[in-house]
Chains A and B, each alone.
Chain A
Amino acid sequence: MIKLKGMPNSIVRCVVPEDMPSSELPSAFGGILEKGASLLQGARLVLDFGGRSLSGDVIFRLLSDFVWPSGVSVAAWITYDAASQDVLKRAGFHISEPSIGSSPASTLALQRSLRSGQRVEYRGDVVISGHVNDGAEVLASGSITVLGRLSGLVHAGYEGDESAVVVARCMEATQVRIGGRIGSVEKDETSCRGKNVIVSVRDGAVLIEIGSL
């Protein structure tokens, strides 16, 4: 069942369960049109699909069956599937979380793991409670904290902020990016592997320090 959550600035978050079969999407959105019409009046929607893959056909169907008839405006289409993000981006849709309140940058707390092929891009800080697997990507304009295992690619301060840091509870990644800098860990370098680390830019170089978590 799709959940509607009210947020500040007249934003309504529409959370689509990741395990809902795509074939059930039209009827689920149809149900919102019937029952949640009053809630949607004048609202800006964040359509949150989690890790779901969205094809061009599915996007078009959602537009024609739900978005256009309901009269809502969609502030953002959120999916962690990198290929779907590219489809949405090419079509000119917003795929980043909208700003809430006066502060443009806030923190995205993601209570899940990211699998290979999934990507999170966020203007602000990102905290991930699960793992970032090999082949997954996290881009944040601020800092990134990974409470699980970091094996994928993270890019903190991707808009150029070199004061951003990366904190990982279990470091398995071979590359970390901060601002315009790229730090690589040699394959045979084992001193930080599996350890909790803090990665920052110091004197123009990416520095990995063993943390004390």
Chain B
Amino acid sequence: MAPRVIVVTSGKGGVGKTTTTANIATALAVMGNKVVAIDGDVGLRNLDVVMGLENRIVYTLIDALEGNCRLNQTLIRDKRTENLYMIPTAQSKTKDAVSSDQMVKVCDDLKHEFDYILIDSPAGIEAGFKNASAGAEEALVVTTPDVSAVRDADRIIGLLESMGKSPIRLIVNRIRPHMVKRGDMLGVSDVLDILAIDLIGMVPDDESVFTSSSKGEPLTLSSDTQAAAAFRNIASRLTGNDVPFINLDEPQGGGFFGFLKKTFGHGR
């Protein structure tokens, strides 16, 4: 299998990019793939904390780019999961510390060693996002079902399309079925109707996500919550498996199967 470089992005901050990156990376590794997750958010690093590896950082990506160490010295192996690695970024630098060309080179170098390279992108549409995305061929766009996040996701999808990323797939995070039922939250089909890209997963709003991030234990390590299953399913779909979507008890026209029918086949 050819190595795959995937950027996880959103436009809006706080929608769950880092949590998604950590959980999908872990799930892919548990499935037997060799995976590295790169923290692309220079100056505001978080991936190390969410993955529980913050105490193991010696060198960062910026150290490698500045010639202070070799790239493989920045790799932190997750002792809990075979084949899972992370590359942290610097907290004391700014987005200008990395260029697009450097990110392309880093990704190309890592392709020799890994099956999956996941890049956690910073929020926003400026240089940080563009640099983080530069080395990726594919993109996962994370949004929450609220109008501002969806609008920002739409903007990011337009930019990703113009950068030639393909496929660009959508994760709808923090769904609260009871709020959708009441009409207080956009449903997944509403989000898809606006964004018109393929859905790869929907993750329910679950307290376990918050606690796992705080503890530095990705849910996909061992949890049996619905959110953990949702992230595992996303990882499985990424590898090409046909996994049915979890019924989040969302009211959709034509029932759940009607919803799935509506979900697929969205072109531009």
By the criterion CB–CB under 8 Å, are A116 and B152 in contact? yes
Query: Main secondary structure on chain A at its contact with chain B?
Result: loop
By the criterion CB–CB under 8 Å, are B161 and A22 in contact? no
Q: Which residues, 95 to 131 on A, are CB-close (under 8 Å) to B?
A: 112-113, 115-118, 130-131
Identify which of A52, A113, A130, A149 contacts B162 (C-beta below 8 A).
A52
Q: Which residues, 111 to 161 on A, are CB-close (under 8 Å) to B?
A: 112-113, 115-118, 130-131, 133-135, 149, 151
By the criterion CB–CB under 8 Å, are A115 and B164 in contact? no
By the criterion CB–CB under 8 Å, are B268 and A112 in contact? yes
Distance to closest chain B CB from A15 (angstroms): 14
Measured between alpha carbons, how far is A118 from B159 in the docked complex, in Å? 10
Measured between alpha carbons, how far is A118 from B125 in the docked complex, in Å? 13
By the criterion CB–CB under 8 Å, are A116 and B196 in contact? no
- Whether B151 sits at the interface, judged by CB under 8 Å, is yes
Q: In the complex, what residue of chain A is closest to B147 when comparing beta carbons?
A: A134
Measured between alpha carbons, how far is A135 from B157 in the docked complex, in Å? 13
CB within 8 Å for A20 and B164 given contacts A113-B196, A133-B194: yes
- Whether B158 sits at the interface, judged by CB under 8 Å, is yes
| Chain B contact patch, size range | 10 to 19
CB within 8 Å for A51 and B161 given contacts A117-B155, A133-B154: yes
A-B CB contacts (within 8 Å), total count: 58
CB within 8 Å for A22 and B163 given contacts A112-B268, A133-B194: yes
Q: Which residues, 11 to 65 on A, are CB-close (under 8 Å) to B?
A: 18-22, 24, 49-53
By the criterion CB–CB under 8 Å, are A118 and B166 in contact? no
Measured between alpha carbons, how far is A131 from B147 in the docked complex, in Å? 16
In the complex, chain B residues whose CB is within 8 Å of the CB of A112: 268
In the complex, chain A residues whose CB is within 8 Å of the CB of B164: 18-22, 24
By the criterion CB–CB under 8 Å, are A51 and B158 in contact? yes
By the criterion CB–CB under 8 Å, are B158 and A21 in contact? no
Q: In the complex, what residue of chain A is closest to B11 when comparing beta carbons?
A: A116
Distance to closest chain B CB from A137 (angstroms): 13
What are 7 A-B contacts with C-beta separation under 8 Å?
A50-B162, A81-B162, A116-B151, A116-B155, A133-B151, A134-B194, A135-B151
